[in-house]
Structure 1
Amino acid sequence: MTSGNNGATTPEDDDPFGYLYADGQANGAQPPSGGGYGYPNSVNRVRAVGQRQYGQPAPGQQQTAAYGQAPQQQGAYGQSNAHYAAPETFPGGGAPTAPQQTGHGGGGGRRGPNTKGLLIGAIAVVAAVVIGIGVAMMNGNSDDKAGGGASPTPTTSQNTKPSQSPSNATSTDLPKTDAKDLQLGGGATRASDVKGAKSDGGTYVTGFNAVGSSITWTVDNIPAGGKYSVYVGYSVPGKDATATLTVNGTPSKTPVGLKNWAGAAQGDYEKGWTKTYNWVQLKKGTNTVNLSCGQGNQCDALIDQLWLVKGWVGS
Structure 2
Amino acid sequence: MTPGNNGASTPEEDDPFGYLYADGQANGATPPPGGGGYGYPGSVNRVRAVGERKYGQQTAQGGYGQQAPTAPYGQVPQQGGYGQPNAHYGAPETAPGGAQTARTPMPGHGDGGGRGRGPNTKGLLIGAIAVVAAVVIGIAVAMTGGGDDDKGDQAGTTPTASQSAAPTQQETKTADEPEDLPKIDGKALKLDGGTSLSADVKGAKADGGFYVNGFNQVGAKVTWTFSGVKKAEDLRLYARYSVPGTDAYATLTVNGKANTQPLGLKNFIGSPKGDYEKGWQSTWAPVSLNKGTNVIEISCAEGNQCDALFDQLWLEQVP
| Same fold, TM-score > 0.5, yes or no | no
TM-score between the two structures when normalised by the length of structure 2: 0.44
Specify the structure having the higher radius of gyration (Cα). Answer: 2
